[in-house]
Amino acid sequence: MNEFLLIFRRDLQSSEMQPSPEQLQNMMKKWQNWMGGIAARNKLVSSGNRLSNEGKVVKPGDVVTNGPYVEIKELIGGYIMISAESLEEAAEISKGCPILTVGGSVEVRAVIPMGT
């Protein structure tokens, strides 16, 4: 089994929308079902983290800007780690991710195992 990092990017505009409590509840259920499905296959390595919209970007020459989103349309919303046989399988699993239903995307990256 290999490990993969799934990075969730959401569309900046949709992340500024104010969903109703019902929509939020519904979205949460979708996320839990999707993650639970991965965990039920014993393929969830880490539930990862959700990231706050707040942030700073540090650039060479003591340049610090507020927020990573000045030049981009998408924002990293969180990540999890899964295990899968191949990049293809990891991508297949990602197809069920609820972020895809709200204009977001999942970036699937293989983790390079550390030498033991």
Partner 1 sequence: MLPHLFRTEYRKIISVLVRHYGFEQLSVAEDIASDTFLIAAETWGIKGLPEHPVAWLYTVAKNKSRDLLRRNAVFNEKLRPALKAELLANPETDIDLSEENIKDSQLQMMFALSDPVLSIESQVALTLRILCGFGIDEIADAFLTNRETINKRLFRGKEKLRTAHIKIGLPAAEEINKRIDAVLTSLYLLFNEGYYSSSQNSVLRKDFCLEAMRLTGLLVENEQTNNPRVDALFALMCFHASRFDARTNENGEIIRYDDQNTELWNDELISTGHYYLNKASRGKELSRFHLEAGIAYWHTTKNDSREKWENILQLYNQLLCISYSPVGALNRTYALSRIYGKQAAILEAEKLGLAKNHLYHVLLGWLYTGVDQDKAKEHLNQALIYAKTETERIGIRKELAQV
Q: How many CA atoms lie within 13 A of 56 on its CB side?
A: 6
CB atoms inside a 10 Å sphere around CB 43: 19
Which of 39, 91 has the CB closer to partner 1? 39
Query: Is residue 41 at the binding interface for partner 1, with CB under 8 A as the rule?
Result: yes
Q: Is 41 helix (H, G, I), strand (E, B) or coil?
A: coil
Which of 13, 25 has the CB closer to partner 1? 25
Query: Is residue 84 at the binding interface for partner 1, with CB under 8 A as the rule?
Result: no
* Gap between the Cα atoms of 87 and 2, Å rounded: 9
Distance of CA 91 to the CA centre of its chain: 13
Query: Is residue 26 at the binding interface for partner 1, with CB under 8 A as the rule?
Result: no
Query: Is residue 67 at the binding interface for partner 1, with CB under 8 A as the rule?
Result: no
Region of 29-37, 53-61, 63-71, 104-112 interacting with partner 1 (CB under 8 A): 29-37
Contact of 78 with 50, CB cutoff 8 Å: yes
CA dist 68 to 11, 71, 72, 74, Å?
13, 8, 8, 10
Contacting partner 1 (CB under 8 A), which of 16, 17, 18, 40?
40
Region of 28-36, 51-59, 60-68, 103-111 interacting with partner 1 (CB under 8 A): 28-36
Residues making contact with partner 1 (CB under 8 A): 29, 32-33, 35-37, 39-42, 44, 47
